[in-house]
Structure 1
Amino acid sequence: MIYPIIAYGDPVLRKRAQDIEQGSLDVKKLSEDMFETMYNASGIGLAAPQIGKSIRLFVVDGTALNEGEPEDEKDPSLEGFKKVFVNPQILEKDGEEWGFEEGCLSIPHIRGEVFRPEVVKIQYYDTDWNRHVEEYDGMAARIIQHEYDHIEGKLFTDYLTPLKRQLLKKKLADITKGNVKADYKMKFPK
């Protein structure tokens, strides 16, 4: 099932999401639907608040970023990087902060440079409720931090300079009003 992507301005994107109680919902089915929704929108990550569900779940698939790249330019952190994170908790962030221009399915056609630490250690459950503690670096760490922010009620625009946010104010207001074209179905605040 493909869900509409919740647009910037909806309060669900600003709430800290709730933990999922084991057995309270079918996390396998929901994560399959989230992958389908994400692929339909050409995304590499999607958090549950972006489909209107204020729960601590996100899916990622960074493998497409390596497709078509020469072997020596492939990011090793993205090899097989397709995962579901249930009730994740970032335990540590480490390393140099590095800038990269990020975007978001909930904020179409807007990008901005965000600085994030290069390494992240995260605890999470998979869809079978097995607990994992893993460390990621490079682009995989960035994707995790971006999606994790969604379940914390943060958006990449929060990291932009005040001047950049001021310059984007009208575009963001237009998204909230539904005055934006996207190649995927969106749901706008009422």
Structure 2
Amino acid sequence: MLRYLGKIELKRSFIQYSMLFLFFIFWNFYLLTFFFLFVNTQNFLSFYKNYLWADIVVYEKKSETIKKLTTELKNFEYVKNLKIFSPEELYQKTKFELPSALFSEEEVLSVFPYVIRVYVYSVKDLYSLKKYINFLSSLNPSIKLISEKPLKIFHFGSFFSKIFYIIIFVWFSFFLFFLYF
């Protein structure tokens, strides 16, 4: 009887320890995968930290409106630099792609807008700039913000780093629980 109970206990403990071993192997695999994604996301964010900008399209041709907008944007503390692309510069960059037989240069220049590229210091500044430009576009429909996709990437990166820190905390709490209790 004791032999039989010993075999059952041995099988039970073997199954329990093997399940615990498999749990830690899979947990380590998922943690390493998550760590790999975290490091690559952080490298991506640090690389593009210097390239945080928003493009503002101004369809008005009045130079007073553009000067007023640029001076207003320069007064903000989160604006690092401004770059203004005139319709002539945009035409020079795209004239090889446009069919010259259909449109003359004057027709194309009358349609092309001014583009103001605003460089900011951080992602939070980019969000506040976006809110401000959306407010301006509600007042003046000829002003629009056109670059929103990088904002989602940076938001995902900051969210991903917070999740990673939570998983690291849970991982160390598992180690403390299984090793010391």
Q: Structure 1-normalised TM-score?
A: 0.22
Structure that is richer in helix per residue = 2
TM-score of the two chains, using structure 2 as the length reference: 0.23
Larger Rg: 2
The structure richer in strand per residue is 1
